[in-house]
Structure 1
Amino acid sequence: MPLGGVQVGSYENYQQAQRAVDHLSDQKFPVENVTIIGSDLRQVERVTGRLSWGRAIGAGAASGAWFGLFVGLLLGIFATDGGDWIGSVLSGLLIGLVFGAVFGAVGYAASQGKRDFTSTSQIVAGRYDVLCAPQVAEQARAELAKLSLRG
């Protein structure tokens, strides 16, 4: 269904809109005619901590170590004996750790102290509207009214 349609419900959060569509699905309503649209979008950035040289280098090293371990395991597939396998895994891990630490330090230095914190960001909507194809909108409204009566 293209964006648009007839509004059959409006909810404060996504979980309520999802519950409404799930209810429609449970009632054997043709949910392929339903769209959930978030409106009044805003970005919420949650600051998780201070970023320092140690933290930047540590995070880079950890990320590099994981990638190096993965590469080492892939190369270890071609090892002829157990010693070669351990060597390739440890080499990949160590090289990844060093390169990750270097790239973490370079990235932190490039920011020149303009962003000395870590954060996570998320796009959230102020309202979620459930829209439906016009030919089945009344049926959807009736089912959602039953849901609201149940609480």
Structure 2
Amino acid sequence: MSMSVSMPLGGVQVGSYDSYQQAQAAVDHLSDEKFPVENVTIIGSDLKMVERVTGRLTWGRALAAGAASGAWWGLFVGLLLGIFAPSGTSWISSVLTGLLIGLVFGALFAAMGYAATRGQRDFTSVSQVTASRYDVMCDPSRAEDARAILARWSLRN
């Protein structure tokens, strides 16, 4: 069923929650009650980006992170190339060579990236987009059923 142009995105509101986990639990409950959840949408409103600073970025930390990342890629490539090794000794050398080359190139690329910033961003961080409210929306033809199920569920919780 297609939505009309005048209907809000996702249908009509059947519930509003402070966290995504609460909205997700509500939709999960609708699913448990055999409600056709393909008619349901979760919409986050009033979005904000939160960046949590996790530490200071130094040359040593940048090089270590690059070397570690490169080493994982090198190990992966070395293992792939090791499949074609004729003996156990050459398999080990393929894996170690891939690991060392990955480590060196990872550190080299990390150094170039860190040098390019010229001290403009000497910290590490983790970013996350959050909403202040999460609305559970539903197709209007099913909205009353969804509201009734969620009302009974909220009385139990």
Q: Is TM more than 0.5 here?
A: yes
Shift in Å at residue 4 of structure 1?
Answer: 2.2
Q: How far apart are the structure 2 equivalents of 1:27 and 1:95?
A: 55
Q: Which amino acid in the other structure matches residue 108 of structure 1?
A: Y
| Greater share of helix | 1
Q: Which amino acid in the other structure matches residue 84 of structure 1?
A: S
Q: Counterpart of 2:43?
A: 37
Aligned partner of 1:107 among 98, 109, 113: 113
Give yes or no for the alignment of 1:25 onto 2:31.
yes
TM-score normalized by the length of structure 1: 0.97
Q: How far apart are the structure 2 equivalents of 1:6 and 1:98?
A: 56
Aligned partner of 1:133 among 121, 139, 146: 139
Matches within 5 A, 1:1-150: 3-150=9-156
Q: Which amino acid in the other structure matches residue 73 of structure 1?
A: L
Shift in Å at residue 148 of structure 1?
Answer: 1.1
Q: How far apart are the structure 2 equivalents of 1:58 and 1:145?
A: 53
Q: How many residues align?
A: 151
CA contact (8 A) 2:10 2:40 kept: no
Q: Which amino acid in the other structure matches residue 91 of structure 2?
A: W
% same residue: 75
Structure 1 stretches of at least 4 aligned residues deviating more than 3 Å after TM superposition: none
Q: Alignment RMSD, CA only?
A: 1.0
TM-score normalized by the length of structure 2: 0.94
Deviations 1:108-150 (A, max 9, x none): 1000000000011011111000000000100000001001111
